[in-house]
């Protein structure tokens, strides 16, 4: 009996030692390269979609690392959506749309780079946006008869369709899909129909039929959830609105739409602590920040709406925050990515701008 326990203990210690060594090797590899994380975007080229990888230094600076083929094709022009490339919360998996070949790809994130795990039909036409909750991945297909559809992600990154999960999107111009923090409700923004769709997701991961609600201001575009479950939506008419979302999918405005005093507020990110929300203003080449109250109410950080300028003519679109929300990255319309430091008071200061990306580049994700 004692010998059995001793042998088992030795085996456990051996396995723990191997895991510790592997973890140390991973950290050592990262440290040896001199980076703290990565920023990812997709080139969306019609001749072959690629993931562009940038290494992030401890001070937020970026350096181009490599391209990785996505296993599909892009459309050759920007998608005008949010969520074309996303990371899992644990940073182990990356997912991307291939809008030109109607497919989705999954990748393992390793210290050596990205490994393509799977590519699967998106169950629709022109996939533009993705969202993930645990092992449930949903896609928004914008083309043809717009729809949403769900997939299970297994431990190898393989994707399998969820029977009965495909539902219509009520707007022909939907631009983003996103899970509520508890994974119980899906939201889809329809920019030209001025509507927000909600879908209640059952315990099997199957989305129910859409419920449609009028947006508080015109042209709802990008959105995010704060850490209290409030839905914050940018409206390209120049506003940002906080909404509550109930478990039955009901969407209700918390306050009146808050003006940005800028043009074409389109994409949204929210800091991890839930204190600040930022929107890019594609028509003004600027970023507007708001502080978020406990009930979701918004207070603009700068009276003129310019928390930071992205540079004349840059037309900023997608954004991503580093996993500690210390740095904000912006995918500009001119083929560049801008980096900003996020300060404790919500203010932003520029760090760097990197370029050389194709004009069709879309989406942004960061760890």
Instruction: With respect to residue 14, please indicate whether it lies within any of the assigned structural domains.
Output: no
Q: Does residue 25 lie within any of the structural domains?
A: no
Q: Return the number of other C-beta atoms located less than 10 Å from residue 23's C-beta.
A: 10
Q: Which of 226, 253, 240, 254 is nearest to 287 (CA)?
A: 240
Element housing 23 (H / E)? helix 2-33
Assess contact for 159 and 149: CB atoms under 8 A.
no
Q: Which residues contact 20 (CB under 8 A, 6 or more apart)?
A: none
Does residue 1 lie within any of the structural domains?
A: no
Residue 54 lies in a domain: yes
With respect to residue 64, please indicate whether it lies within any of the assigned structural domains. yes
What is the mean pLDDT of the segment spanning 231-250?
98
Q: Residue holding tokens 């937020």?
A: 60
Confidence of residue 27 (pLDDT cuts 50, 70, 90): very low
Locate 105 and state its tokens.
Answer: 């790809």
Q: Which long-range contacts (CB under 8 A, 24 or more apart) does 327-330 make?
A: 327/56, 327/60, 327/351, 327/366, 328/269, 328/278, 328/287, 329/39, 329/62, 329/364, 329/366, 330/280, 330/287, 330/364
- Could you tell me if residue 249 is left (phi over 0), alpha (psi between -120 and 50 degrees) or otherwise beta? left
CA of 139: how far to CAs of 49, 70, 104, 147, 349, in Å?
A: 17, 16, 8, 8, 34
CATH of the domain at 241: 2.130.10.10
Assigned domain for 334 exists:
yes
Q: What is the pLDDT of residues 263-314, one digit of tens each?
A: 999 999 999 999 999 999 999 999 999 999 999 999 999 999 999 999 999 9
Predicted pLDDT of residue 6 = 33
Predicted model pTM: 0.90
Sorting pLDDT into bands at 50, 70 and 90, what band is 35?
confident
Whether 214 is covered by a domain: the verdict is yes
Domain span holding position 254: 37-366
Cα 2 → chain centroid: 53
Give domain status of residue 20, yes or no.
Answer: no
- Report CA torsion sign: 121, 122, 128, 130: negative
List of residues 6+ apart from 48 with CB closer than 8 A: 69, 70, 73, 74
Total of domains in the chain: 1
Q: What is the DSSP letter of 254?
A: S
Q: What's the confidence (pLDDT) of residue 15?
A: 40
């Amino acid at each position: 009996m004692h010998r059995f326990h001793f042998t088992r203990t030795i085996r456990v210690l051996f396995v723990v030692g191997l895991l510790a060594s592997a973890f140390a090797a991973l950290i050592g590899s990262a440290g040896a390269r001199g980076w703290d994380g990565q920023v990812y975007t997709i080139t969306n080229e019609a001749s072959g979609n690629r993931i562009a990888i940038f290494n992030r230094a401890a001070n937020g600076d970026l350096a181009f690392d490599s391209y990785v083929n996505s296993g599909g094709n892009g459309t050759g022009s920007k998608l005008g959506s949010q969520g074309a490339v996303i990371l899992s919360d644990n940073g182990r998996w990356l997912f991307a749309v291939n809008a030109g070949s109607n497919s989705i790809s999954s990748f393992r994130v390793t210290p050596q780079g990205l490994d393509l795990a799977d590519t699967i039909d998106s169950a629709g036409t022109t996939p533009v946006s993705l969202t993930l909750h645990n092992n449930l991945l949903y896609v928004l297909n914008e083309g043809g008869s717009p729809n949403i559809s769900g997939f299970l992600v297994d431990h190898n990154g393989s994707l399998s369709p969820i029977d009965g999960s495909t539902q219509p999107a009520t707007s022909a111009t939907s631009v983003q899909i996103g899970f509520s923090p508890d994974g119980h409700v899906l939201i889809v923004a329809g920019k030209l129909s001025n509507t927000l769709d909600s879908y209640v997701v059952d315990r099997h991961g199957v989305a129910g039929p859409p419920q449609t609600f009028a947006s508080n201001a015109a042209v709802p575009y990008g959105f995010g959830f704060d850490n209290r479950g409030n839905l914050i939506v940018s409206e390209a008419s120049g506003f940002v609105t906080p909404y509550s979302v109930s478990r039955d999918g009901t969407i209700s405005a918390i306050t009146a739409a808050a003006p940005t005093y800028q043009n074409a507020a389109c994409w949204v990110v929210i800091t991890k602590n839930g204190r600040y929300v930022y929107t890019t203003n594609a028509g003004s080449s600027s970023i507007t920040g708001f502080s978020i109250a406990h009930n979701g109410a918004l207070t603009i950080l700068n009276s003129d709406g310019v928390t930071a300028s992205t540079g004349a003519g840059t037309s900023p679109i997608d954004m991503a925050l580093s996993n500690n929300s210390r740095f904000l990255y912006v995918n500009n319309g001119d083929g560049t990515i801008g980096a900003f430091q996020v300060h404790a008071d919500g203010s932003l200061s520029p760090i760097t701008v990197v370029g050389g990306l194709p004009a069709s580049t879309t989406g942004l994700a960061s760890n």
